[in-house]
Structure 1
Amino acid sequence: MDELARVTAATVDVLRVLSAGDDACWGLRVIKGSGRPPGSVYPILERLERAGWVSSAWEAENDRPGPRRRFYKLSDGGAVAARAVIARFDAKSNASFRPTGAQA
């Protein structure tokens, strides 16, 4: 598993959605859960997969109408790394937030 060269707020949002459950989820669910546009989410998912953080698979043929869905799931190492990235991002965000009138 490779380290991510760049971690943006959008990457963290995608990791949060993927970390939220044990089941794989399809791209549209990641888009809706993260609140990010498809043009951001799919490249992030592709980067995560190339780095070994995520695996993906097309759903088997079924009777559901509509196009096949691609399901994404964090790898075991990706899940551990995602939790660490999210925690660092949250700690950094909380440290930089100072309410009005707070002493430095």
Structure 2
Amino acid sequence: MEPLQRIGKATVDVLEVLLGADEPCWGLEIIKLTGRPSGSVYPLLDRLERAGWVTSSWDDDADRRGPRRRMYLLTPEGAVEARRVVARAHLAPVVRPVPRTAQ
């Protein structure tokens, strides 16, 4: 498993959804739960999979209508790292810009 080079708020949001899931999640479900656009979520999922944090597979539910869904699941090692990343993100102080006063 590889460490992630960049861990932004969108990555934390996706990891939180995956950590909170009892079973594999599909991409559109993650998009809806995070409120993030597909252009952010799918590249993140791909990066997480390439790093070994997530595995994916195609849903094989023949009774479900609609297109097949790609299902995502944290690996055991990925879950350990995801918990660490999420915990650190929640402990980090929120930095807000200080408004400038008129001079």
TM-score (norm 2): 0.88
Q: Return the offset for 1:74.
A: 0.2
> Superposition RMSD on alpha carbons, in Å?
1.3
Q: What is residue 51 of structure 1 aligned with on the other side? A: 51
For these two proteins, the number of residue pairs brought into alignment is 96
Q: What is residue 85 of structure 1 aligned with on the other side? A: 85
Q: Return the offset for 1:62.
A: 0.5
The runs of 4+ residues in structure 1 deviating greater than 3 Å are none
Gaps of 5+ in 1: 99-104
Deviations 1:8-32 (A, max 9, x none): 1000000000000231010111001
Q: What is residue 21 of structure 2 aligned with on the other side? A: 21
* SS of the residue 2:73 aligns to: strand
Between the aligned partners of 1:47 and 1:67, the Cα distance in structure 2 is 23
User: 1:1-104, aligned counterparts within 5 Å?
Assistant: 1-92=1-92, 95-96=93-94
Between the aligned partners of 2:21 and 2:64, the Cα distance in structure 1 is 23
Q: Return the offset for 1:49.
A: 0.1
* SS of the residue 1:96 aligns to: coil
Q: Return the offset for 1:60.
A: 1.1
Gaps of 5+ in 2: 97-103
Between the aligned partners of 1:29 and 1:5, the Cα distance in structure 2 is 25
